[in-house]
C-alpha cells in the first residue's frame, strides 16, 4: 500500500499513440515527509504520519511546534495518517539520510551526562600509563581494521521520521482511490440535491419542485430519520474509487489519474492504493 498527500491542480487531457483521448486530473503530489512512526508497542497499531506543504514556524502553536521539533523535520501545513505494515512501507518510502537530527537532551539529562563524563575523565587520569598505552594501541588497531573493511549501509526494518514519499511510489496503470472534500453548492432542493422528478409545470398544477409527502399524520406523527429532504449540498468528505494512474512526472512531483476527483482546484487530496 502506498499513500501520499497532494494538491489538485485541475483537469486536462492526454492522447495515446492510437489517438484516444483520456481525461485526466493533474495532482501535485508530495514530496511528503514522515513526521511520526507509530508502532504496536507504543501506540497499539502501526501507521505513518506524513506531512505536506510548508508553513512558517511562527504560525504554529506550541504543541505542533514541539511535535515537528521532536521528529527533527520542518513544519508542515497538512498532516495525514496512513495505516500500513511498517516493514512493507520501506518499499515505497524513500530513505533520507540527511534528515535533521532530533532535538538535544533536556538540561537535566545534559547536566547528568556532563557529571558522568567528568567522573570518567578523573578515573582515566588516575589510571596507569601502561593501561592507557594499551588502550591507545587497541584503538589504533581497531581504526585500521575499520578503514580496511568496506562500510555497509545499515539495514532499515521500517521507515523513520524525516524520510520522504514521492510520486515514484506509484506505477503507471495502478489503481488508486482519491479522497477530498467535494465542492460546496450551498442549500439545494430535492430536485438538484437528490434528483427528484418534481411535478407538472403547467395545466394548473400546484405541485412543482416540492419534496412531496414526508410521513403520515396520525402514526407515527413524525418524520423518519434519513429522509431525503432539502439541505446543504456538497462540502463533504468523499472518496472516488477505481481511478487509474495514467502518467507521472517525478521531476515536477506530478501524478495524473484518469477521470475526476473530489474537490475544487488547489484543494488538498489524499491518494492511496487499495
Confidence of residue 116 (pLDDT cuts 50, 70, 90): confident
- pLDDT value of residue 112: 74
- pLDDT value of residue 96: 74
The span from the CA of 207 to the CA of 214, in Å, is 14
Confidence of residue 120 (pLDDT cuts 50, 70, 90): confident
The reported pTM is 0.73
215-268 pLDDT, tens digit each: 888 888 899 999 999 999 999 999 999 999 999 999 999 999 999 999 999 999
Confirm if 96 and 34 have CB atoms less than 8 A apart: no
On the question of pLDDT at 164 being above 50, the answer is: yes
Confirm if 271 and 81 have CB atoms less than 8 A apart: no
> For a pLDDT cut of 70, what percent of the chain falls above it?
82
- pLDDT value of residue 100: 47
Give buried/exposed letters for 193-232 (b at 16+ CB in 10 A, else e).
Answer: beeeeeeeeeeeeeeeeebeeeeeeeeeeeeeeeeeebee
Task: Give 114's DSSP letter.
Answer: H
On the question of pLDDT at 108 being above 80, the answer is: no
> For a pLDDT cut of 90, what percent of the chain falls above it?
66
List the helix and strand counts (H, then E) for the chain. Answer: 6, 12
- pLDDT value of residue 101: 47
58-103 pLDDT, tens digit each: 999 999 999 999 999 999 999 999 999 998 888 888 887 644 444 4
> Mean pLDDT for the chain?
86
Amino acid at each position: 500500500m502506498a499513500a501520499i498527500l497532494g494538491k489538485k491542480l485541475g483537469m486536462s487531457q492526454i492522447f495515446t499513440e492510437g489517438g484516444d483521448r483520456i481525461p485526466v486530473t493533474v495532482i501535485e503530489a508530495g514530496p511528503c515527509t514522515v513526521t511520526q512512526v507509530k508502532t504496536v508497542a507504543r501506540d497499539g497499531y502501526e501507521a505513518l504520519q506524513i506531512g505536506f506543504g510548508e508553513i512558517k514556524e511562527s504560525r504554529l502553536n506550541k504543541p505542533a511546534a514541539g511535535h515537528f521539533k521532536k521528529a527533527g523535520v520542518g513544519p508542515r501545513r497538512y498532516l495525514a495518517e496512513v495505516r500500513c505494515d511498517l516493514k512493507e512501507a520501506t518499499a515505497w518510502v524513500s530513505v533520507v539520510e540527511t534528515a535533521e537530527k532530533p532535538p538535544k537532551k533536556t538540561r537535566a539529562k545534559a547536566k547528568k551526562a556532563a557529571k558522568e563524563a567528568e567522573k570518567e575523565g578523573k578515573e582515566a587520569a588516575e589510571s596507569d600509563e601502561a593501561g592507557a598505552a594499551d588502550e591507545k594501541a587497541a584503538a589504533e588497531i581497531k581504526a585500521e581494521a575499520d578503514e580496511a573493511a568496506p562500510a555497509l549501509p545499515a539495514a532499515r526494518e521500517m521507515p523513520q521520521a524525516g524520510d520522504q514519499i514521492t510520486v515514484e511510489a506509484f506505477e503507471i496503470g495502478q489503481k488508486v482511490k482519491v479522497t477530498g472534500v467535494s465542492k460546496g453548492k450551498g442549500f439545494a432542493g430535492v430536485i438538484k440535491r437528490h434528483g427528484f422528478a418534481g411535478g407538472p409545470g403547467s395545466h394548473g398544477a400546484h405541485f412543482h419542485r416540492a419534496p412531496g409527502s414526508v410521513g403520515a399524520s396520525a402514526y407515527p406523527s413524525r418524520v423518519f430519520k434519513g429522509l431525503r429532504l432539502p439541505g446543504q449540498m456538497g462540502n463533504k468528505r468523499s472518496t472516488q474509487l477505481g481511478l487509474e494512474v495514467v502518467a507521472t512526472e517525478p521531476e515536477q512531483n506530478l501524478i495524473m489519474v484518469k477521470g475526476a476527483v473530489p474537490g475544487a482546484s488547489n484543494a488538498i487530496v489524499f491518494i492511496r492504493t487499495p
